[in-house]
Amino acid sequence: MKVAVFDLDGTLLDTAPDIHACACAALDDAGLPLISLDQARGFIGNGAPVFIERTLAAVGKPGDAALHARLLAGFLSRYHDATGLTRLYPGAAEALDALRATGWRLGLCTNKPIAPARQVLAHFGLSGFFGNAVIGGDSLPVRKPDPAPLRAVLAMLGAKGCWYIGDSETDALTARAAAQPFALFLGGYRKAPVTDLPHDWAFDDHASLPAWLEGRAGR
């Protein structure tokens, strides 16, 4: 069985501009300073609660539980339908289509909350590639880099193993924790040097992904 499981934010979609806009609107409502797009991009990867935790630290309000809850609620209320500034990475949809056409079973494992994850997949016409094999950051009691979310997607696909494709430290650690090979997309939200992330292959063009994976099918 040929199985590939993808991360979402920073791997298939550049969602940082929408995430930034939602965060700034929530900060503004709370009378707090705004963060930059570069800051928002650097805070992505460990789920919405951690994103808000990092945001509050950046604006000088760390450790305030009540403010965290308020800001998270304001952020999530906007985040569910936030697609206007998001863009597909070039070649991402075509890569998914090519993989499906050659018999690959596809899943999605993201720390994005499941409702906005499904919303943005539908908006960009990607839902059909993954069906029900989608796990979000609030689907289980734990999030990546715990291996449980990736293992849950594998169970949905009836598979024991996969290639995991992601863009970040969190994704690299998830693949390693789940003992699965990892392909690293270089155009996402990675913070550390490539050499610091455990990976089996690194790529900067989605168009190269189907042929590369097909060449390693069954290995």
Q: What is the pLDDT of residues 127-151, one digit of tens each?
A: 999 999 999 999 999 999 999 999 9
Q: How many domains does the chain have?
A: 2
pTM score above 0.85: yes
Scan for tokens 């300073």, then name that residue: 33
Phi-psi bin for 21: left (phi > 0), alpha (psi -120 to 50), beta? Answer: alpha
* CA angle (192 as vertex; 188, 195 as ends), nearest 5: 100
CA 112 vs CA 42, 45, 96, 206: distances in Å: 15, 8, 20, 21
Q: Which helix (H) or strand (E) holds 182?
A: strand 182-185
Tell me, yes or no, whether 219 lies in a domain.
Answer: no
Structural domain range at position 100: 3-14+87-214
Closest CA to 48 of 112, 119, 122, 129: 112
- Three-class secondary structure of residue 174 per DSSP: helix
What is the spatial distance between Cα 106 and Cα 99, in angstroms, rounded to a whole number?
8
Same-domain check for residues 176 and 196: yes
Give the integer Cα–Cα distance in Å for 171 and 73.
26
Shared domain check, 166 and 70: no
Domain identity same for 93 and 75:
no
* 105 and 148 fall within a common domain: yes
Claim to verify: residue 21 and residue 55 sit in the same structural domain? yes
Are 48 and 133 found together in one domain?
Answer: no
Domain CATH for 74? 1.10.150.240
Query: What CATH number did the domain enclosing 109 receive?
Result: 3.40.50.1000
- Indicate the residue type of 57: A
Q: Just list the catalytic residues.
A: 7
pLDDT in tens, 13-56: 999 999 999 999 999 999 999 999 999 999 998 889 999 999 99
